[in-house]
A and B are shown apart, each in its own frame.
Chain A
């Protein structure tokens, strides 16, 4: 009896220690598994949306499709997991998902203390306000004493408190668990203003019963640079995703699109293009992915311009202007280092 309990103890101990993950690069693990697990959101059309046919779409979803194309050669080899605001970081930390592509705002504290690596940022915006027109508010500074609807557990909640405090103003927070609830409270006039990134405000205003009754204030109270996130400790995985993001920007610079990528790969004599599309050199295989990985990415979601316009921009229902997300040479902030 005693001997058997010692045996059981050893087993329990072994199981306990075996549970600790060993540190292989996630890139190899994903390729072995043949599937990329992507945490995203399922209820904002244009950003992350699961439709009634079971199809995922949107900006954050397409990033994962591109990653699937880069790493596994097929944008369909991605399994999407809907994550909630409060559970998104634990899901990533626990290894339930490989990438969190869910409009996460990159901040120094998140980057340096959570054990995460941010890619990009791939969507640059800021935090703004939408107010009821009948309040007569035209500037953020007039919001002293207002009730503000805010999404619980997001950076917007923190920036809101920080900004009002810094400006010696007061406000009454009205927290919502999800964005549907937040906007419905705003439209019911539970609050005078709602705070969120302007593109998302615009999406909701467009859907309002009377869009003209709402004003999106011009001033942004904080930068909000959104970026996909992975766990720290997989340098190969990180490099592939980071350069995939740069690659999509580079493709737009080079005029390579979803439609002409095959043609250009076959016919281009430009050494930069040849290197970029993997016709020449071993950039891809040195990173641990096929040499033609950027061809796959561009065929899956297009260059950065197409990627943005098809989901949020002018080819979508949302019509969000590119603003800061235009290429650097067009006056935006999207840049990529050289592909040498």
Chain B
């Protein structure tokens, strides 16, 4: 006998009618219709007002020539390149400060968190004080402070501090020697690759045959010998570009600008305080029994921290710290206040040149949205991994 189901016996037409009369369906449908109308209405109003007030809309301006300089850039950029390229420069500068800021703020957070949990009262109080002070001062002020501090505190170009030849510290930035690849760079790198492959082969053979010799002296020789020979034959793969004072500024080498340094310091120190609290909470969240078990096994406290507490604390830490990383990325937009050429600065100057404000602002919003989604995607994967290790 067929199982009786009241639902199955009802004809489709009646089921549809029942579905349509359901309260939840009606209210949600209404909500969706209203939302669509609201969005459509705003777009309609905005576009017709824009059409009335200014002739230009759309994103075609991105391919026009931008006539402004941006100061620092990871890719070659100068006035006369397209607005699109300027935006790429801005995104790269945002990524640069955000990526380094995330690493540095995590490091600061870890140190301060461990400091707060230390047995020494002085260290505990100092770290606590750091967290309380830094967390409670607005980030913008901290950025302005670091920027002004670097400009006022460091010497001018002509009185540059130079601890070693080739390193100059001034209020226009830190000038360092930078490597310049020569024509032989490719050959030497290829030789190095050959060396690495040879050494891997040796390692594989050593493991297979259990040959009775020490691996590393021969392995190291095999790794680097081809590269050394190539250098002798083809010449040095890199030369050093040493910054020199020519006219107004140091030229050559590489420069770390005070704007970038202020951004990195400000963002890392500020976010570091939040990260410290997150990490501290994570460590305290690991049950005390785990620590005691580790100690009774004969591990010393450092090992207990590294091998037992931190891996478990990670599970608690990752979700809130991903929020903190997202905040750091978004707060890098404050760089505009001290003239760091990140994405908002590029958008602002483009806006002033083209007056296409809606377009420029929507570009920034889209970029931050994408950056945030990528960051949370990565951290979600990490979170899933660390959770899976739970037993």
- Given A1-B26, A89-B355, A174-B71, 6 more pairs with CB closer than 8 A: A17-B44, A93-B54, A158-B353, A177-B337, A188-B171, A231-B53
Residues of B near A233 (CB, < 8 A) are 52
Contact A86 B248 (CB under 8 A): no
Q: Does B365 contact A (CB under 8 A)?
A: no
User: Please, which residues of chain A bring their CB within 8 A of the CB of B186?
Assistant: none
Give chain A nearest CB distance to B229 CB in angstroms: 41
Q: Write out the residue numbers on chain A whose beta carbons fall within 8 Å of the beta carbon of B338.
A: 177, 181
Top 8 A-B pairs, shortest CB-CB distance: A16-B41, A153-B352, A161-B79, A115-B54, A12-B37, A19-B45, A175-B339, A146-B248
A115 to chain B, nearest CB (A): 4
B352 near A9: Cβ-Cβ < 8 Å: no
- A85 within 8 A of partner (CB): yes
Given contacts A144-B247, A147-B248, A158-B67, contact A114 B79 (CB under 8 A): no
Q: Are B352 and A172 in contact (CB under 8 A)?
A: no
Residue from A1, A21, A231 whose CB has the most chain B CB atoms within 10 Å:
A1
Q: Are A145 and B37 in contact (CB-based, < 8 A)?
A: no
Q: Which one, B192-200, B205-213, B341-349, is touching chain A?
A: B341-349
Q: Closest Cβ of chain B: how far from A96's Cβ, in Å?
A: 12
Q: Is B33 an interface residue (CB 8 A)?
A: yes
Q: Does A154 contact B (CB under 8 A)?
A: yes
Q: Which residues of B contact A93 (CB under 8 A)?
A: 53-54, 355, 357
Distance between B353 CB and nearest chain A CB, rounded to angstroms: 6
Instruction: Tell yes or no: A314 within 8 A of B by CB.
Output: no
Q: Inside 8 A of B156's CB, which chain A residues have their CB? A: 189
Q: In the assembly, what is the distance between CA of A114 and CA of B44, in Å?
A: 20
Contact residues of B between 137 and 194, Cβ < 8 Å to A? 148, 151-152, 156-157, 171-172
Q: Contact partner of A9 among B34, B54, B337, CB < 8 A?
A: B34
Q: How far is the CA of A181 from the CA of B338 in the complex (A)?
A: 8
- Give complex CA distance A2, B172 in Å: 67
Given contacts A5-B33, A113-B56, A190-B258, contact A162 B339 (CB under 8 A): no
Any A CB within 8 A of the CB of B69? yes
| B247 & A90 in contact (Cβ 8 Å cutoff) | no
Cβ < 8 Å to A, chain B residues 62-90: 67-71, 78-80
What chain B residues lie within 8 Å of A165 (beta carbons)? Answer: 67, 78-80
A173 adjacent to B70 (CB under 8 Å): yes
A253 at the interface (CB under 8 A from B): no
* Inter-chain contact A115/B55, CB cutoff 8 Å: yes
B30 on interface, CB distance cutoff 8 Å: yes
> With A16-B45, A177-B339 given, is the CB distance from A161 to B249 under 8 Å?
no
B interface footprint on A1-27 (CB within 8 Å = 1, 0 otherwise): 110110011001101110111010000
Is the Cβ of A152 less than 8 Å from the Cβ of B171? no
Pull 14 A–B residue pairs with CB atoms less than 8 Å apart, ordered by A.
A9-B34, A13-B41, A86-B348, A143-B248, A145-B251, A146-B248, A147-B248, A147-B249, A152-B336, A165-B78, A171-B69, A175-B349, A184-B148, A189-B156
Cβ-based interface call for B42 (8 A): yes
Q: Which residues of chain A have C-beta atoms less than 8 A from B52's C-beta?
A: 20-21, 23, 115, 233
In the assembled complex, the CB of B30 is this many whole angstroms from the nearest CB of chain A, namely: 4
Interface status of A30 (Cβ within 8 A of chain B): no
A105-149: CB near B (< 8 Å → 1, else 0) gives: 000001001110000000000000000000100000001111100
B55 A113 Cβ-Cβ under 8 A? yes
From DSSP, what is the main secondary structure of chain A's interface residues?
A: mixed
Contact A16 B40 (CB under 8 A): yes
B320 close to chain A: CB less than 8 A: no
Contact with B along A148-164 (1 / 0, CB 8 A): 00001110011011101
Within 8 A of A (CB), among B18-49: 26, 29-30, 33-34, 37-38, 40-42, 44-45, 48-49
Considering the chains assembled together, what is the distance between the CA atoms of A202 and B54 in angstroms?
A: 36
Q: Decide if B5 is an interface residue (CB 8 Å cutoff).
A: no
- A160, B78: Cα distance in complex, Å: 13
B202 part of interface (Cβ distance < 8 Å): no
Nearest chain B CB to A1 CB, angstrom units: 5
With A9-B37, A20-B48, A189-B171 known to touch, is A154 a contact of B151 (CB < 8 Å)?
Answer: no
Q: Indicate whether B351 reaches chain A with its CB closer than 8 angstroms.
A: yes
Scoring B29, B33, B40 by chain A CB atoms within 10 A of each residue's CB, the highest score goes to: B33
Please, which residues of chain A bring their CB within 8 A of the CB of B71? 172-175
Cα distance A177–B44 in the bound complex, in angstroms: 33
Contact between chains at B352 and A16 (CB < 8 Å): no
Q: How far is the CA of A21 from the CA of B69 in the complex (A)?
A: 38
Q: Are B151 and A162 in contact (CB under 8 A)?
A: no
* A165 and B69 alpha carbons, distance in the complex (Å): 10
* Bound Cα distance from A206 to B314, whole angstroms: 59
Name the distance in Å between B41's Cβ and chain A's nearest Cβ. 3
CA distance A143 to B251 in the complex (A): 15
Cα separation A227 to B311 with both chains bound (whole Å): 65
Partner of A16, one of B44, B78, B341, B351: B44
194-239 of chain A: CB within 8 A of chain B: 231-233
Q: In this assembly, does B246 line the interface, its C-beta being within 8 Å of a C-beta of chain A? A: yes
A180 smallest CB distance to B (angstroms): 11
Q: Distance (Å) between the CB of A17 and the closest chain B CB?
A: 7
List the A side residues contacting B251 at CB < 8 Å. 145
Which residues of chain A are within 8 angstroms of B30 by Cβ–Cβ distance?
A: 1, 4-5, 8
A62 on the B face (CB < 8 A): no
A153-B54 in contact (CB<8A): no
Chain A nearest CB from B143 CB (Å) reads 11
Question: A176 contacts the other chain (Cβ, under 8 Å)?
Answer: yes
B345: chain A residues within 8 A (beta carbon): 152, 175
Contact in complex: B355, A113 (CB < 8 Å): yes
Indicate the member of B29, B55, B341, B352 with the most A CB atoms within 10 Å. Answer: B352
Bound form: Cα–Cα A15–B68 in Å: 41
Residue in A17, A115, A177, A185 whose CB lies within 8 Å of B53: A115
Q: Of all chain A residues, which has the CB nearest B79?
A: A161
Q: Is there contact, CB below 8 Å, between A113 and B54?
A: yes
A90 CA to B351 CA, complexed, in Å: 9
Find B248's partner among A90, A135, A231 (CB 8 Å cutoff).
A135
Which chain B residue lies CB-closest to A142?
A: B247
> Chain A residues with Cβ under 8 A from B33's Cβ?
5, 8-9
A224 to chain B, nearest CB (A): 15
